[in-house]
Amino acid sequence: MSARLDATPLSGHTEAPLVDIEGLARVFDLSKRWLNRMLDGSGKVTLTAVDGVALSIRRGETYALVGESGSGKSTIARMAVGLLPPSAGTVRIADADIWAERSAARQRRIRRQIQMIFQDPFASLNPRWRVGAIVAEPIKAFGLKADAREREQRVGELLSLVGLDPRDAGKFPHEFSGGQRQRIAIARALASEPDFIVCDEPTSALDVSVQAQVLNLLRDLQQSLGLTYLFISHNLAVVRHMASRVGVLYLGRLVEEAPAAMLFAQPKHPYTRMLLDAVPDISMETVEREPIAGEIPNPIKPPRGCHFHPRCPHVMERCRTETPPVYNAEGTAVRCHLYAPEAKG
């Protein structure tokens, strides 16, 4: 039995991962100011957004994190790219800890390997900058092209790579549609020639008609450039299309991890099954589904034991008091007491 919810040992792959996350946690202090607490007698209030997450991502694959809003997906994404310091745990990219490294030169090399594509392309692009300057900024920041003409040529190549015209470099972000703005954001992410890109809901702000185009672009770029993705989404149809492996988050804990095909065909955790049952599917019109009961508990005061037990149709007494360890259930890593050896027996 493993203390790490990570399907890598179960899948037969032995190569070292590009991204290795161990014991990642993030606690936010929501307390009032010290003087206010002294006057009204209130104590400290904390929210554990991420609770001991461990996962690894092999080079060239897409690892998807799914879960309801508030499960901790975007918090993990921001810690993975160095935007938010963890309260505990490590994030290693190509065997270098991005938070422990003190050397400025080493930090610079690590940061160049990592980029992020945000949910809202309009908010993530500087409205006062022309597209050429936006895409060229990482090239200048990392000193990849010293000559201005070379940078301009590289910007044109990147815009062509994402399906835009090099002449678009002279325009402003507001002159483009949502899908085109996201292509600009992708071109900017590619400008530093990264190995690892975090995609945080990259199509949720787009029209359905252009979502597939952007997703297919991301897949094509992955195949041609050998990119590695951490893909954050609440849309399981998108995850099925994009992911190699899937991790399911609930209240900051990773509760199930498996290859995408296995997870969609045979979900193990009750929460995963409920998420999949909530996806509209006309072919399952006559199949009785298990509705999602209740609401996500208050993350400031999460339930003891298994966080999911107040909503679980298979709850046992031990679920209310014992945090389930990780079990290997037919190639799936799952954090659920239903898969304990004594429960099977």
Q: For the packed helices 131-141 and 148-161, what is the interaxial angle rounded to 10 degrees?
A: 120
Q: Which pLDDT tens digit goes with each residue over 172-202?
A: 999 999 999 999 999 999 999 999 999 999 9
Can you give the pTM of this predicted structure? 0.89
Which residues are CB-neighbours of 307 under 8 A, at least 6 positions away? 250, 251, 252, 253, 297
- CA 268 to chain CA mean position, Å: 21
* For helices 148-161 and 178-190, angle between their N-to-C axes, nearest 10 degrees: 130
**pLDDT, one tens digit for every residue, the chain (345 residues):** 334 564 333 434 457 899 999 999 999 998 888 777 777 877 888 999 999 999 999 999 999 999 988 899 999 999 999 899 999 999 999 888 888 866 777 788 888 999 999 988 889 999 999 999 999 999 999 999 989 999 999 999 999 999 999 999 999 999 999 999 999 999 999 999 999 999 999 998 888 889 999 999 999 999 999 999 999 998 898 999 999 999 999 999 999 999 999 999 999 999 999 999 877 664 445 556 565 567 788 889 999 999 999 999 999 999 999 999 999 998 899 999 999 987 665
Distance (Å) of CA 77 to CA 31, 229, 233, 274, 301: 24, 11, 11, 24, 23
Phi, psi dihedral angles at 7 (to 5 degrees):
-80, 0
Q: Where exactly are the structural domains of the chain?
A: 8-84+226-280+292-344
Between CA 38 and CA 26 the distance in angstroms is 26
Right CATH for 8-84+226-280+292-344 from 3.40.50.300, 3.10.20.600, 3.30.300.30, 3.30.390.10: 3.40.50.300
- Nearest partner of 117 among 145, 148, 138, judged by Cα: 138
Interior CA angle at 117 toward 114 and 120, to 5°? Answer: 155
The pLDDT tens digits of the residues spanning 244-256 come to: 999 999 999 999 9
